[in-house]
Structures are given as structure tokens and as C-alpha cells.
Amino acid sequence: MHQWDFASVLANREALLVGAIGTLRIFAICLVAGLSLGFIVGLGRYSRNRLFYWPATAFTEFFRNTPVLVQILWFYFALPILVPFSIGPLAAAAMGISLNSAAFSAEIFRGGIQSIDRGQWDGARAIGMTAGQAMRRIVLPQALRRMTPALTNRAIEIFKMSTLASAVAYVELLQQGKLIASLNFNPIEAYTAVAVIFFVCLWPLVQLTYVLERRLGRSE
């Protein structure tokens, strides 16, 4: 029977803290970059102008249908050959995860905007708003409410995806877990600790999406 000993992990709590900061940093970058780019791409997908529609569609199809890890490795190993500057682990991982989340959230934004009744547009235009104003003041606020559970889910996915950055040796929680495991020969405790940290961080968020979904279901 294995003798569990978390003291060796606790002794390295500073390494885990550094990892947690790294995880939060890449999470924040990808959340902001992924969702804002996703919004732009989503508008392109919604547009009737082919000049916007086709590039946006090609983008979402490509990034939805290739694995994130492949994208991260591509940005890390392949892209530096084409561009004149070097690309670090954080940049490569952030690009891969952001573009992937942009593709997925674009579909959420498009679906949310499309779900708003045509009459809302007509009403806004009838009282003299421009299309941009109607979108900003009437359609988006209603659409965002409907999209909140799906967007929260996306945020959770981004948090989980951040572990993939360890494949290019970016310092985040899993990478630090690896380090601790290899220095102290305690993979059981080190990886269990990392798993528990993720569970503790994400479980409340998951419960929140359930609550949001139920509340939305009741109000609609």
C-alpha cells in the first residue's frame, strides 16, 4: 500500500504558487484575446457581405477542426521560420489557445445574435437608430444575457486548456507539478495536488453555469 505523503508537495508550495500565477496569466490573456477576437469573427459570420463572411467561416472551420496542441506546436516550432522574430512558450501557447477559443466563441456570438427576434431590429430601426446603434443598444444586451452560460463554459474550457502550455515548457501549474514530481520522486502526490487545485478552482465555476442555465431556462 502506498504511503501518501503530501509534505514533500507542501514544501514546494512556492513552486506551485509560481505555476498558479503562470496559469492565471495565460488564462487571462486567452480569455480576453479569445473572446474579443471571437466577437469580431462572430460578426463576420453573421454578416451578409461575402468579404466578411468567407474569411470568418474559413477561420472558424479551420480552428474548430484542428487540435489545440497541434496549433500550439505549430506556432512554437513552425511559425518562427516564417517570421523574423522569435516566439516564446507563452506567445505560442497563448496564440494557439486564443485562436481556438475565438473560433468556438464566434459561433456562440453568432448564435446569440441570431436568436434575437427580428422585430427587435425593426423596432430599433423604426425609432431612427442606425444598424450599429441597434446592435449595441438593443440586440447585444439581450443576446449577451442568453450567451452567458455558453461563454462561462468557454472560460472553463480555456482554463483547462491552459495546461497544454506545459507541452512547450511554459511555467504553469502542471509544468510545476512535473518539476516537483521529478525532483522529489513523488508523482502521486504532485499530480494529485495539481488535479485538486484545478478541481477546487473550476468546480464553483461549473456550478455557476448550472445556476445560470437554470435561471435562463426559467426566464425564457
Partner 1 sequence: MYQWDFAPVAANWPLLAQGLLNTLKVTGVALVVGLALGLLFALMRLSRHRGLSWPAGFVIEVFRTTPPLVQLFWFFFALPLIAGIAMTPYIAACVTFSIQSAAFFAEVFRGGIQSIERGQWEAARAIGMTEAQAMKRIVLPQAVKRMIPAFMERAIELMKTTTLVATISYADLLFAANEISQKTFRPLETFTVAALMYFVVITAFSLLARRFERRLAISGEATVH
**Applying CB under 8 A, which residues contact partner 1?**
2, 61-62, 65-71, 73-74, 77-79, 81-82, 156, 159-164, 166-167, 174, 177-178, 181, 187-188, 191-192, 194-195, 198-199, 202-203, 206
CA atoms within 13 A on the CB side of 60: 23
Four-residue CA torsion sign, 74, 77, 81, 84: positive
How far apart are alpha carbons 178 and 172 in whole angstroms? 10
Q: How far is the CB of 192 from partner 1 (least distance, A)?
A: 7
- Minimum Å gap between C-beta 31 and partner 1 is 15
Helical pair 89-114 and 13-46, crossing angle rounded to 10 deg? 40
- Least Å distance between CB 98 and partner 1? 17
Q: CB-wise, 15 or 161, nearer to partner 1?
A: 161
Quick one: 91 or 194, whose CB is closer to partner 1?
Answer: 194
CB 98 within 8 A of CB 30: yes
Q: Are 60 and 100 in contact (CB under 8 A)?
A: no
Q: How far is the CB of 122 from partner 1 (least distance, A)?
A: 28
Contact 152, 60 (CB under 8 A): no
Grid cell in block for residue 55: 474569411
C-beta of 136 vs 214, nearer to partner 1: 214
CB of residue 117 vs partner 1: minimum separation in angstroms?
21
Nearer to partner 1, 17 or 78 (CB): 78
Integer Rg of the chain from CA: 21
Q: Give yes or no for a contact between 151 and 108, defined as CB atoms under 8 angstroms apart.
A: yes
**Least distance in angstroms from the C-beta of 33 to partner 1:** 20
Decide if 162 contacts 97 (C-beta within 8 A).
yes
Grid coordinates given for 97 = 489557445
Kindly tell me which of 54 and 199 has the beta carbon lying closer to partner 1: 199
Q: Which is nearer to partner 1, 140 or 202 (CB)?
A: 202
